[in-house]
């Protein structure tokens, strides 16, 4: 929009055309993105900015043409981001879609976390220059019959002490319903599977399983939700192929989720159903603050924008002591699935 006001459509080049659709100007100057348009960093930044705009537009429309609040922020240590939020609106309790493009040096804590998942990283005087960018989003609807969705697609580059460059992609999309609606869950998984299958028949089963393992609240013995796909440290296929795959996943977010929102956003619900939603929101908070890798990376990165990281937390949550739903209730039904993840599509 900012760009649209500055450059008349007829004079825009391809990069400018794309930027004109974004929620704000990209973090990297447009000139620089144009000059390095074949560089993966530029391509990824344009892709995540496009995903942000596409998802925000679809959500705003589902909400009855609401407007997202758009915050463009800078990080003193390098880079910045754009946070788009819709809070306490018609359909959504809190919908946050965040882009960040940051660079600088990895924190000691982040290096420790990366090494603990098997990365070999050669530092110089303990320092490791990095560049990370991604789009990350959590959508918490008001109606307990509309599930929460989370997605995140990211690209990392690290330069080791000997000049060697490591890079990898990570990401995923997963669904957290308050109540089980098998038809919705199948639609969600089916759409993700189709996006994966275009690239390799091995991707969906592998990343579906990784998702079930990752979004597990160990101290509760429960999954956070009904899964989806999750992957990290993807670096063994050609970069181009992985980028295409990640792009397909990002493009699948709207068709995955919006039909479910439309289907249920006007469902009636009882106070008891709202209460159960609030208790499940509590579990969401537990996962994000105790286990989530992205949240931990953010909290440990100096100068990171806390409000953008913790945008993932729901507007409201509840913890009741020893709340145990009856096994044959609707609440017991979803708990059973959270305790023993199922295969939804084959």
The residue ranges that bind a copy of itself (CB under 8 A) are 69, 71, 83, 85, 87, 94, 96, 218-220, 278, 282, 285-286, 289-290, 299, 306-307, 310-311, 313-322
Residue number, 83 or 136, with CB nearest to a copy of itself: 83
Residue number, 69 or 164, with CB nearest to a copy of itself: 69
CB of 97 to a copy of itself, least distance (A): 12
CB of 317 to a copy of itself, least distance (A): 5
Q: Is 189 labeled as catalytic in the residue annotation?
A: no
CB of 54 to a copy of itself, least distance (A): 21
Residue number, 254 or 317, with CB nearest to a copy of itself: 317
Q: 190 burial class (0-12, 13-18, 19+ CB within 10 angstroms)?
A: middle
- The DSSP call for residue 75 is -
CB of 282 to a copy of itself, least distance (A): 7
Cα–Cα distance for residue pair 318/330, rounded to 1 Å: 19
Cα–Cα distance for residue pair 89/156, rounded to 1 Å: 34
Q: 268 burial class (0-12, 13-18, 19+ CB within 10 angstroms)?
A: exposed
Name the 3-class secondary structure at 33: helix
Residue number, 247 or 312, with CB nearest to a copy of itself: 312
User: Terminal CA-to-CA distance of the chain, rounded, Å?
Assistant: 43
Alpha carbon separation from 64 to 60, 89, 98, 262 (Å, rounded) = 7, 9, 21, 11
Residue number, 206 or 220, with CB nearest to a copy of itself: 220
Residue number, 161 or 285, with CB nearest to a copy of itself: 285
Name the 3-class secondary structure at 216: strand
Name the 3-class secondary structure at 205: helix
CB of 87 to a copy of itself, least distance (A): 6
Q: By the 8 A CB rule, do 43 and 250 touch?
A: no
- Write the secondary structure of 142-203 as one string of H (helix), E (strand) and C (coil): CCCCCCEEEEEEEEEEEECCCCCEEEEEEEEEEEECCCCCHHHHHHHHHHHHHHHHCCCCCH
From the candidates 36, 103, 145, 150, give the one annotated as an active-site residue: 150
CB of 70 to a copy of itself, least distance (A): 12
Q: By the 8 A CB rule, do 86 and 60 touch?
A: yes
Bridge partners, 74 (sequence order): 80
Active centre residues (catalytic): 150
């Amino acid at each position: 929009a900012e760009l649209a006001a500055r450059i008349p459509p007829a004079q825009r080049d391809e990069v400018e055309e794309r930027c004109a659709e974004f929620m704000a100007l990209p973090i990297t100057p447009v000139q620089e993105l144009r000059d390095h348009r074949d560089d993966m960093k530029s391509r990824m930044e344009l892709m995540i900015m496009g995903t942000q705009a596409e998802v925000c537009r679809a959500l705003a429309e589902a909400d009855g043409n609401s407007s997202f609040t758009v915050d463009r922020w800078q990080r003193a240590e390098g880079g910045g981001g754009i946070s788009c939020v819709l809070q306490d609106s018609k359909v959504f309790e809190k919908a946050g879609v965040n882009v960040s493009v940051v660079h600088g040096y990895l924190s000691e804590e982040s290096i420790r976390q990366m090494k603990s998942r098997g990365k070999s990283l050669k530092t110089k005087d303990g320092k490791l220059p990095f560049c990370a960018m991604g789009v990350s989003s959590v959508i918490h609807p008001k109606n307990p019959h509309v599930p929460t969705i989370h997605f995140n697609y990211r690209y990392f580059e690290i330069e080791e002490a000997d000049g060697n460059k490591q890079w990898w992609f990570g990401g995923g999309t997963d669904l957290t319903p308050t109540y089980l609606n098998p038809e919705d869950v199948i639609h969600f998984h089916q759409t993700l599977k189709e996006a994966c299958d275009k690239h390799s028949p091995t991707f969906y089963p592998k990343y579906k399983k990784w998702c079930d393992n990752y979004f597990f609240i160990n101290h509760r013995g429960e999954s956070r939700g009904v899964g989806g796909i999750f992957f990290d440290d993807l670096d063994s296929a050609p970069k181009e192929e992985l980028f295409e795959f990640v792009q397909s996943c990002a493009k699948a977010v709207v068709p995955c989720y919006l039909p479910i929102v439309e289907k249920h956003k006007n469902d009636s619900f009882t106070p008891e159903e709202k209460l159960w939603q609030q208790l499940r929101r509590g579990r969401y908070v537990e996962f994000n603050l105790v286990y989530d890798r992205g949240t931990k990376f953010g909290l440990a990165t100096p100068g990171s924008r806390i409000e953008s990281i913790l945008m993932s937390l729901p507007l409201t949550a509840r913890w009741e002591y020893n709340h145990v739903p009856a096994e044959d209730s609707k609440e017991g039904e979803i708990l059973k699935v959270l305790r023993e993840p199922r295969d939804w599509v084959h």
